[in-house]
Amino acid sequence: MEVSSPSDSLQKGPHTSSNPQLPPSPPDSTKVSSASSRRNSNSEIAESPCHVDRSGNKASRCYPLPPRCKPDNKVLAEDLKTPDNHVVRDPRLIRLTGIHPFNVEAPLSELFDEGFLTSKDLHYVRNHGLVPKVEDTEIMDWEYTIEGEVENPIRMNLEQLIKDYEQITYPVTLVCAGNRRKEQNVVRKTKGFSWGPAGLSTALWTGVVIGDLLKAARPKRGAKYVCFEGADRLPNGYYGTSIKLNWAMDPNRGVVVAHKMNGEMLAPDHGKPLRIIIPGQIGGRSVKWLKKIIVTREPSDNWYHIYDNRVLPTMISPEMSADLPDTWKDERHAIYDLNTNSATCYPAHDEKLPLGQGLKSYKARGYAYAGGGRRITRVEITLNKGKTWLLANISYPEDEYRLAPEGEELFGGRLDMSWRESCFCWCFWDLDIPVSQLQESDDIMVRAMDDAMMVQPRDMYWSVLGMMNNPWFRVVIHKEGHTLRFEHPTQPALMPGGWMERVKKAGGNLSNGYWGEKLSGEDAATVEEEPAKEICMINKEVTRTITIDEFRNHGGEVEPWFVVNGEVYDGTKFLEGHPGGSVSIFGAAGQDASEEFLAIHSENAKAMMVDYHIGSLDEASLALLTDRESEVLEGVAVRENFLQSKVWSKAVLSGKKKISADTKIFTFNLEHAEQLVGLPIGQHLMVRLRDPATREAIIRSYTPISKNTERGKLDVLVKVYHDTPARKGGQMTQALDALPIGHAVDFKGPIGKFEYLGRGACTVAGRPRQVRRFVMVCAGSGITPIFQVLRAVLADRDDPTRCVVLDGNRVEEDILCRADLDAMVYGDGNEHRCRLLHTLTRPGPDWTGLRGRLSAELFEKEVGRGPAGDGGEDLVLICGPEALEKSVHAIFTGLGWKDDDLLFF
């Protein structure tokens, strides 16, 4: 469903339009050019470093400042049971490797929208293990050494580094070598996890040029390398790597020992209190939590230097790589300088461009970067798969710093930029494309070139680690009626979406050089992807049979066992060696981990499972573990409540009722006629089905619309997203719609942090609240949890709680549960207790209600600015697509509401 809200521009990107709701488009708009713009910018810094010459006059040029950080970030709930339970993080970051270790990138649009500099909140993070804990009181005493092939070994602390050496500041873009790896993983699984195109960030780094330190240590004759080692102890020792000594000594390379990021001390995820920053090279060389600088005659022999950050020859498979130690140690395969790369940020993935509204052109925008100090000199766009090219505009915000006057200081360091020609940062490209040309094109592709005339290749170079992926970035254009919809190649981590996954599922050959399109004369045999080699994960000498009781006795933190494909594995011996730490294994203990394990792990990891294989579940135990509905219950034949929090329970589909063109109510019979669902008001349940084609599990959360007092049945309202020629529909909703009457479906629950107890009393994350007024904001099928709470409030005539419901939709037919809502509010005489408002963005001629988006003006008029604070409490309940939720959050906080008063279902 298309949701009407001002957040469309936030998630989907601005069009070239005069629409006042759309944000400005220049990517370097964070530049400070006046005191007025400074007050309205995202800058955290009270005083802008606008330049003042020796006569006291402000210079005419200024440079970008860091965006403002979120003041309300905290330790997230998912980190509380991990070794990182001391680290404050931003919940917007996308986790790429589960809960721990912390490897994340920002949503691409949000990263781009922050501008040239990235806040520490959204800066990407690559951690191999736990984050060392360093108290603020210990920072200045943090010691590190310069040792090895030096005449004058040095041991010093951070206080001495700051006091005894000149401090410099300059911007650097750090890029993970795995940036865009998800594209390689779609073609064929590599040994690396799935980065999207947001594995890069830019910050201002303050510290000491490493050449000054090395000169003080005096390297010996014959020394050629500088090794770095951090404090993060990992299964294979401390993380470490090396670069060439002459690079470290070259001031044009800009290698710095840094202790500040964007003017603040380093955050824990970014190396607190000390790290190396190596501009122009992959992020894996910029060691965090620095403890040792070691000058050597040979490259580092650290395990992570040898077996990480390499591009092996493309013919080496993950299976082959396990037996090629000499290949791994070959320095010719090591990655240092970044390669040339670019990506399109707008149009964003799934962004829609309406036609016929007077738009003549669309401003496509994105980023580009190069390595080794090289400058991006050219960015080109093709709308016809490379037959012809258009030259894009390029902006270089980095150059603004070069114009600072001599002696300029920023964050306690000299702004060391005016003399340097090397480019250390990303740049931004844009191109106004006529909408008429977009209508005639199937895709937009971008490539960049640097000043060494190195240009991005058309085709992918697949390698076993999936590093340095940089083929042309392709965005597909779908024509959907009077709308163009744009589709990026992939989405990060295990997030579904992107034309590559869609093409591969349809049988396309993504390695044929034509983006999976069938070539003229190409038969099915040549298009079919070569089947992946089956990896043996069992020890064929193990014949032990394990019962369900024996297995469940190992579901805790002593000898944790887990199941993959019906086989039992003991993770005890790998607790220290697991890259994700022991918490990853304890989280799977006593569980069937098949789906998550097989989806995330590489072929090498699967091959390692042989060493931990201890037996097989017997058939009866496997059935119990898989279905779990038999795990009922300690001799109780009939349960009063259907839902169980740790056990899947089966209900039988007994009816389907169509209530709109694409929405149905699915009715399920519970285990017996007197059984209650057992779902508290305001909470949800999980539904599990199997994909009819792949048999993979599909799990989604829903809120029933049946009353929690009803017995024997369960009603779930579902909007069905069907396949179209242009896009894949909803996996779960189509599977539900295809189910025959009489088919069993799995349910589990309840889940959710909100529960309504009655008469204004509720709990949020276990904390009691007394609510005077509920403000309920929803769209489409997001009405269901709102409906559940509203019904409970209005059913009790003595309940003093008031409600305001704002329901945003596109057309009148999209308003769900309308008759029931009207009956609750108007039929029962509850108009004085509830105000029910619907607004449409595409109303018909007979519509007499509100028109337009769920906007700030509407909320301020109908709800007001901030909680009233007159003895009662207001609580905003929000449910809808992600774009709606982000928009509502931004609007309400802008109107003075606190995050504690905003609850997202």
Q: Which residues have C-beta within 8 Å of that of residue 31, sequence separation ≥ 6?
A: 62, 63, 64, 116, 397, 400
Residue 277 has pLDDT above 50, yes or no: yes
**CATH superfamily placement of domain 545-627:** Cytochrome b5-like heme/steroid binding domain (3.10.120.10)
Strands 125-126 and 103-105: antiparallel
Contact 902, 876 (CB under 8 A): yes
Give the pLDDT mean for 186-206: 95
Tell me which of 606 and 892 has the higher pLDDT: 892
CATH topology of domain 649-751: Elongation Factor Tu (Ef-tu); domain 3 (2.40.30)
Write down the domain spans for the chain. 341-396+423-505, 545-627, 649-751, 755-904
Pairing, β 834-840 against β 761-764: unpaired
Query: What is the C-alpha to C-alpha distance for residues 500 and 367, in angstroms, rounded to an integer?
Result: 21
Whether pLDDT at 608 is above 80: yes
Q: What value does the mean pLDDT take over residues 814-820? A: 89
pLDDT at 51: 39
pLDDT tens profile 79-93: 887 889 999 999 999
pLDDT at 6 over 60: no
- Spatial distance between the Cα atoms of 569 and 589, rounded to a whole number of angstroms: 10
Is 0.85 topped by the overall pTM? no
CA 896 to CA 905: how far, in whole Å?
21
C-alpha–C-alpha distance, residues 703 and 706, integer Å: 9
Please work out, in degrees rounded to the nearest 5, the angle formed at the alpha carbon of residue 809 by the alpha carbons of 94 and 803. Answer: 90
Instruction: Determine contact, residues 376/340, Cβ cutoff 8 Å.
Output: yes
In the predicted structure, residue 534 carries a pLDDT above the cut 70: no
**Residues 707-730 as b or e (16 or more Cβ within 10 Å = b):** eeeeebbbbbbbbbbeeeeebbeb
Q: Which of 724, 689, 876, 685 is nearest to 789 (CA)?
A: 876
Q: Of the ranges 208-212, 438-442, 674-678, which one carries the lowest mean pLDDT score?
A: 674-678
Q: Is the model's pLDDT at 706 over the cut of 60?
A: yes
Question: What pLDDT, on the 0 to 100 scale, is given for residue 722?
Answer: 80
Higher pLDDT, 56 or 844: 844
For residue 53, pLDDT over 70 is answered with: no
CB 465 within 8 A of CB 458: no
Catalytic, 669? Answer no
Residue 541: left if φ>0, alpha if ψ -120 to 50, beta else—which one?
alpha
Decide: 21 and 890 in contact? Cβ < 8 Å: no
The arrangement of secondary structure in 341-396+423-505, i.e. its CATH architecture, is Sandwich (2.60)
| Residue bearing tokens 């009691």 | 768
Q: Mind listing the pLDDT tens digit for each residue in 157-179?
A: 999 999 999 999 999 999 999 99
DSSP-derived secondary structure letter, 247: H
What span, in angstroms and rounded, lies between the C-alpha atoms of 352 and 354? 6
pLDDT at 14: 33
- Model pLDDT, residue 622: 67
Query: Which pLDDT band, with edges at 50, 70 and 90, does 30 fall under?
Result: very low
pLDDT in tens, 781-792: 889 899 999 999
Identify the pLDDT of residue 252.
Answer: 95
Q: Per-residue pLDDT for 868 more than 70?
A: no
Element housing 343 (H / E): strand 341-346
> What is the rounded end-to-end Cα distance, in angstroms, of the chain?
18
Name residues whose C-beta falls within 8 Å of residue 777's C-beta, 6 or more positions apart in sequence.
806, 808, 854, 859, 876, 877, 878, 879, 880, 884, 888
Helix extents (H) in 231-314 = 245-249, 303-307
| 3 state SS of 126 | strand
Q: Give the residue-averaged pLDDT of 717-745.
A: 80
**176 annotated to a ligand binding site:** yes
Residues in the chain: 905
DSSP string covering 724-743, please? -SSS---HHHHHHHHPPTT-
Distances (CA, A) of 252 to 207, 216, 373, 423: 16, 19, 8, 9
Which of these ranges, 182-186, 195-199, 226-230, 846-850, has the smallest mean pLDDT? 846-850
Instruction: Give pLDDT, residue 540.
Output: 87
The percentage of the chain sitting over the pLDDT mark of 90, rounded to a whole number, equals 55
Whole-angstrom distance, CA of residue 904 vs CA of residue 758: 20
Residue in this structure with the two tokens 């005890």, named with its chain if needed: 572
- Of 8, 90, 103, 176, the catalytic one is 176
Architecture of the domain delimited by 755-904:
3-Layer(aba) Sandwich (3.40)
pLDDT at residue 20, as a whole number: 29
Give yes or no for residue 336 having a pLDDT over 60: yes
Q: Show the DSSP H helices in 687-822 as ranges.
A: 731-738, 783-795, 818-822
Q: How many CA atoms lie within 13 A of 350 on its CB side?
A: 18
Out of 220-224, 312-316, 331-335, 744-748, which region has the weakest mean confidence (pLDDT)? 744-748
Contact 230, 240 (CB under 8 A): yes
Contacts of residue 457, Cβ cutoff 8 Å, sequence gap at least 6: 470, 471, 472
Q: Is the pLDDT of residue 521 over 70?
A: no
Active site residue 308: yes
Mean pLDDT value of segment 213-232: 97
Mean pLDDT of the chain: 85
Could you give the count of Cα atoms lying within 13 Å of 331 in the half-sphere of its Cβ? 11
| Catalytic member of 121, 232, 269, 308 | 308
Catalytic residue, candidates 185, 262, 309, 509: 309
* Mean pLDDT of the 857-874 span: 78
Q: Distance between CA 281 and CA 256 in Å, rounded?
A: 13
Q: Are strands 561-564 and 567-570 parallel, antiparallel or unpaired?
A: antiparallel
CA distance 330 to 294: 21
Strands in 761-865 per DSSP E:
761-764, 767-770, 773-779, 802-809, 834-840, 850-851
Note the pLDDT of residue 196. 97
pLDDT tens-digit readout, 571-586: 888 876 665 455 556 6
Active site includes 309? yes
**Cα diameter, the chain:** 92
pLDDT of residue 601: 64
Is 620 a residue whose pLDDT tops 80? no
Greatest mean pLDDT among 259-273, 548-562, 810-824 = 259-273
Residue 126: is its pLDDT beyond 70? yes
